[in-house]
Amino acid sequence: MPHADSPASFLDTPTGFRSWLLTHDHKRIGILYAIAITAFFFVGGAAAVLIRTELATPQGDVLTADGYNEAFTVHGVVMVWFFLIPSIPSVLGNILLPLMLGARDLAFPRLNLASWYLYALGGIFTIACLIAGGADTGWTFYTPFSTLFSNSNVLLVVVGVFIVGFSSILTGLNFIVTIHRMRAPGMHWFRMPLFAWTMYATSLVMILATPVLSMTLVLIGLERVFGVGIFDPALGGDPLLFQHLFWFYSHPAVYIMVLPAMGVVSEIIPCFVRKRIFGYRFMIYSIMAIAIVGFFVWGHHMFVSGQSMYAGIVFSLLSFVVAIPSAIKVFNWTATLYKGSITFEAPMLYALGFVGLFLLGGLTGLFLAATALDVHLTDTYFVVAHFHYIMVGGAVMAYMGGIHFWWPKVTGRLYPEAWARFAAILMFFGFNFTFLPQFVLGFLGMPRRYHSYDPEFGLLNAFSSGGAAVLATAYLLPLGYLSWSLFYGARSPANPWAATGLEWQTSSPPPTHNFLETPRVDGGPYEYSPSQAEAEAEARA
Ligand code: HEM
Ligand SMILES: [Cu+2]
């Protein structure tokens, strides 16, 4: 309830540049992340524009072959490590987790600030690699290419990714301790919002898997600089070892990207349906199952690598198993809609977009998990389409939904709703326009990572590039109207959506320590009622 003597917001005090760069406030650190991550999104986006411009026609006429390799390497490295992995946890998680738990900050505020500086330092190394001329290994740094053949800039980007990994580990540690130790009185485990649960599961993956990646990157450095034989057969090493180590991290990492997205969607849907989420406990079991089983499926990236056929069969089966909890979640979101009082505000449009696109991404993942089919589809555009449906259609959609949903909470301002709905719809169409043709292209046999291609693939690629232009426009729109709303948007009440989470019980924007009095919790997280929905509908009529 905002009133005249409502406390000063975290945005207003203290003032000055230094107070931001040395802040210990989780909300301010979240905003620092948001700024850095948005910058990287546009760096990665610029590379995507280059890629799609080159692929608009079959001839390799825009970039050289090497230039193209560098473009997709920057694109992948930046989008995965500097945008998607940190995005939801570091921005929304940082800002919301303490608020949702009724805490005054994270458990280790200084460590939290250190994580941001590590992120920035890793980013500097990566940009330095770009300025030095770029690397061309792809975001996966496969050996022996990265150790024997690529140029030495690959070391700069490997160091950058190594450093940003520590940012991830420290954030995970911080979240886990916060969730264990700092929940408000009455908030027991099965009263936590699902977003907090996904932060918990994601943090576990971050601290268990990321060190494996860090170690692998160190080994690349050792081989490249000192000639220690780890991956190079001539020195007694094994190149496949790299793929095992890399995917042991990187498959769980796709759940670092998508679990938080599921958390965001689980907050948005009940709010705009005015119903409790369907199957709350099953949602939690599914979240944990995904996080755990996700550690045992990495070999599905290696079906054609020459790994043993029996290993292939086991990895295939386990990959089907990991789809079950994801399917449960899709079912539960859908069941939440059933007989709900649904309204289509912008965050809800993004959330619904997520459910549909994630479903398509997940189902095509099953195609790829079938070993016989994967021999045909691996390293084709089918794979590119598949992971973009998960990572962009899924995770980026949810991130955008979350930014809109909590924008009034963090900034104290409302954004222009009509523009926001228009951008959400444009993004959905632009996305499908770009990536749906790529399923067909891959199925017809177009391989990924070539800068020119057979003219028979021309039409579908032209579609895809056209769609990319639409999608790029859709991504620029929120940048415009959200910045506008910072200065000219109407003031938001504390709880503009009439949502139930603890974060909505404090003023918008919240005071530095979040709550004037520690909140007490005596019920579940989604106590929306049908009678409330009816009253609202009457008020609107
Ligand atoms: C957050 C958003 C995104 C993420 C996380 C992402 C991630 C990735 C990754 C990991 C790759 C693999 C790179 C490689 O081949 O090694 C890739 C490839 C690609 N991405 Fe994205 N991407 C995103 C957005 C976009 C957008 C908006 C477009 C188009 C406008 C796009 C177009 C492409 C294309 C064409 C390739 C294929 C490059 C090739 O293999 O020839 N991506 N992306
Ligand atoms: Cu995988």
The residue to mutate among 145, 384, 452, having the most atoms of ligand 1 within 8 angstroms of its beta carbon, is: 384
d(Cα 80, Cα 33) in Å, to the nearest integer? 15
CA 253 to ligand 2 center in whole angstroms: 9
Q: Which of 11, 13, 7, 31 is nearest to 403 (CA)?
A: 31
- Is ligand 1 within 6 A of the CB of residue 75? yes
Residue 89 pLDDT exceeds 50: yes
Q: State mean pLDDT over 102-126.
A: 97
Q: What is the pLDDT of residues 233-289, one digit of tens each?
A: 888 899 899 999 999 999 999 999 999 999 999 999 999 999 999 999 999 999 999
Q: State mean pLDDT over 143-156.
A: 85
Residue % of the chain over a pLDDT of 70 = 98
What is the CA angle 287-292-293, rounded to 5? 100
How high is the pLDDT of residue 148? 81
d(Cα 466, Cα 464) in Å, to the nearest integer? 5
Expressed in angstroms, the distance from the first to the final Cα of the chain is 25
Residue 225 pLDDT exceeds 80: yes
What is the CA angle 318-370-256, rounded to 5? 50
How high is the pLDDT of residue 138? 92
How high is the pLDDT of residue 156? 93
How high is the pLDDT of residue 541? 65
Q: Give bridge partners of residue 90 from the DSSP assignment.
A: none
How high is the pLDDT of residue 6? 63
d(Cα 23, Cα 538) in Å, to the nearest integer? 45
Using 50, 70 and 90 to split pLDDT, how confident is the model at 123? very high
Contacts of 308 (CB under 8 A, 6+ apart): none
Single-letter amino acid, residue 38: T
Separation in Å, CA 468 to CA 75, 198, 353: 14, 31, 17
d(Cα 79, Cα 38) in Å, to the nearest integer? 11
DSSP string, 368-399: HHSHHHHHHHTTBHHHHHHHHIIIIIIIIHHH
CA-nearest residue, atom 42 of ligand 1: 48
> Greater confidence, 149 or 409?
409
Q: Which residue has the tokens 């690629």?
A: 461
CA 81 to ligand 2 center in whole angstroms: 16
Q: State mean pLDDT over 503-517.
A: 94
d(Cα 407, Cα 399) in Å, to the nearest integer? 12
- Is ligand 1 within 6 A of the CB of residue 449? yes
Q: What is the pLDDT of residues 414-454, one digit of tens each?
A: 999 999 999 999 999 999 999 999 999 999 999 999 999 99
280 near 211, Cβ under 8 Å? no
Q: State mean pLDDT over 198-219.
A: 96
For the chain, give the mean pLDDT. Answer: 94
d(Cα 516, Cα 234) in Å, to the nearest integer? 65
Q: What is the pLDDT of residues 171-193, one digit of tens each?
A: 999 999 999 999 999 999 999 99
CA-nearest residue, atom 11 of ligand 1: 76
Q: State mean pLDDT over 319-344.
A: 96
Residue % of the chain over a pLDDT of 90 = 88
CA 258 to ligand 2 center in whole angstroms: 12
Q: What is the pLDDT of residues 351-386, one digit of tens each?
A: 999 999 999 999 999 999 999 999 999 999 999 999
- Is ligand 1 within 6 A of the CB of residue 80? yes
Q: State mean pLDDT over 455-460.
A: 96
The residue to mutate among 42, 63, 72, 389, having the most atoms of ligand 1 within 8 angstroms of its beta carbon, is: 72
- Is ligand 1 within 6 A of the CB of residue 85? no
Residue 499 pLDDT exceeds 70: yes
d(Cα 190, Cα 192) in Å, to the nearest integer? 6
The ligand minimizing its distance to the Cα of 453 is: 1
- Is ligand 1 within 6 A of the CB of residue 471? yes
**In a 3-state reduction of DSSP, which class is residue 429?**
helix
The residue to mutate among 79, 427, 471, having the most atoms of ligand 1 within 8 angstroms of its beta carbon, is: 79
Q: State mean pLDDT over 481-509.
A: 95
**In a 3-state reduction of DSSP, which class is residue 131?**
helix
Q: State mean pLDDT over 87-99.
A: 97
- Is ligand 1 within 6 A of the CB of residue 448? yes
Residue 400 pLDDT exceeds 80: yes
DSSP string, 432-449: HHHHHHHHHHHHHTPBSS
Residue 308 pLDDT exceeds 60: yes
Q: State mean pLDDT over 86-103.
A: 97
> Greater confidence, 380 or 224?
380
Q: Which of 409, 416, 407, 471 is nearest to 34 (CA)?
A: 407
Q: State mean pLDDT over 505-531.
A: 90
pTM: 0.92
How high is the pLDDT of residue 152? 78
What is the CA angle 442-446-452, rounded to 5? 140
d(Cα 532, Cα 446) in Å, to the nearest integer? 53
